[in-house]
Amino acid sequence: MNDLPEGERDLAPATASVLDALIAALLVSAGAAAAGAFTAEACVRYLCGKASLEEVAAVRRAMLRDAEIRRRVRAALHRLDDLRSMPWAQARNEALAEGWDGQVAAAWIAFSTEGAANLAQARARWSGEAWGRLHEMALQGAAEATAAWEAFRAFAAASVAALPAPAPAMVRGGAMGVGGLPLRGMPQGCDVESASATVGPTGALAIGLCLRAGEGASLPTSARVELQGPADVWPLAEPPLIDGALQATIEGFGAATGLPEGPVPPGLVVVDLGVHAGQATLRVALPGGRGATEVPLEEPPRIENGMLRLALELRESLLTLYPGSRLVLRLLGAPHGQAIASWPLSELGLGWNRLSVPAPDLGSGAAAALTAEIVEGTPS
């Protein structure tokens, strides 16, 4: 009779050998099952931070058990970096390849297209519905309203997480209004008398702005209130300016961003005074953290038969300040976005440039899922 506690009794050598063999067999079996269940779709969602808690746990267990899965995850990580930077047409062709690389490319194409379409629809809902009403519909479980609300919450979370940042006026290419509210596109000869962005007791965002025109200057009549993200902006409202005064209330802002009652952190909300009512524009990020500029478009971008068509007007300053650079058009909705196409600025001219490139079909909301940037140098 062995008087040792249950957990401290020695096993007979034969029993220990059988147990070791059984454990090894179970581990091999678990690893094979994990590898069989591990898909490129799950891997892409995991690497993009969009997997559910259950999926994250499953992927991590599979990686612990199987060296082949660890190799696949590392290969997919490098593959996504390549796919994001290549033109859309090339990335789509890569998805036709056989093997793991082709599977990852196909999963990324589906993931980024779905994300861009959801973003476009969400932004269309935000601009077309009163914020308070949309929030109520989301709380009641309406599917489309819930998707729009969650898309905005995800963007807002990334925006808040990016704070603090360098001085907002320098980063975003605008002037700093009184009260820490950055202003973009301030007309020459105009001054700011007051500016504020505050979350009230009900969670509503209140924007107040008052401008004064100097001699010979004209006050703007329209503006756009935007939530500034790490690499993009989310239009919140386009209130009119009446005699230089702007007042806007955005319901549900506190709930979406998690901000408490009080002043909004400087640089999170921006007022763009360079917006002309009814004018379609494309936001173009400038290199080196120099902010962004709005490039006029003849009309909102449209996608027909798998081709994105847009006409944009370039100013001489962009062409002369950034010689040897490229204009890169990107698709939003997925981490770091997906390149659509790029053009050397030297091949674009002053005035209207009419461009046509392959792109995913995003319907009428294509403009809401597009952004652009000027990248210095030429691709290697």
What is the mean pLDDT of the segment spanning 246-261? 86
Task: State the pLDDT at residue 174.
Answer: 44
pLDDT above 70: percentage of residues in the chain: 77
CB 254 within 8 A of CB 261: yes
DSSP H or E run through 304: strand 302-304
Confidence of residue 168 (pLDDT cuts 50, 70, 90): very low
Give the pLDDT confidence score for residue 225 in this predicted structure. Answer: 87
Through-space distance between the first and last CA atoms of the chain, rounded to whole angstroms: 76
Reported as a pLDDT band with limits 50, 70 and 90, residue 160 is confident
pLDDT surpassing 60 at residue 281? yes
Residue with the bigger pLDDT between 232 and 56: it is: 56
Strand arrangement of the beta sheet that strand 205-213 belongs to: 245-250, 205-213, 190-199, 262-263
Task: Quote the pTM value.
Answer: 0.63
pLDDT tens figures, 300-328: 888 878 888 889 988 887 888 888 899 99
> Mean of the pLDDT values across residues 232-260?
84
pLDDT at 197: 92
Summarised one tens digit per residue, pLDDT across range 96-137 is 999 999 999 999 999 988 888 877 777 766 655 556 666 777
Q: What is the pLDDT of residue 103?
A: 95
Structure tokens at 367: 């403009």
Q: What is the pLDDT of residues 42-75, one digit of tens each?
A: 999 999 888 888 888 888 888 888 889 999 999 9
DSSP line for 18-58? HHHHHHHHHHHHHHHHHHHH--HHHHHHHHTT---HHHHHH
Tokens for 295, please give them: 């490039």
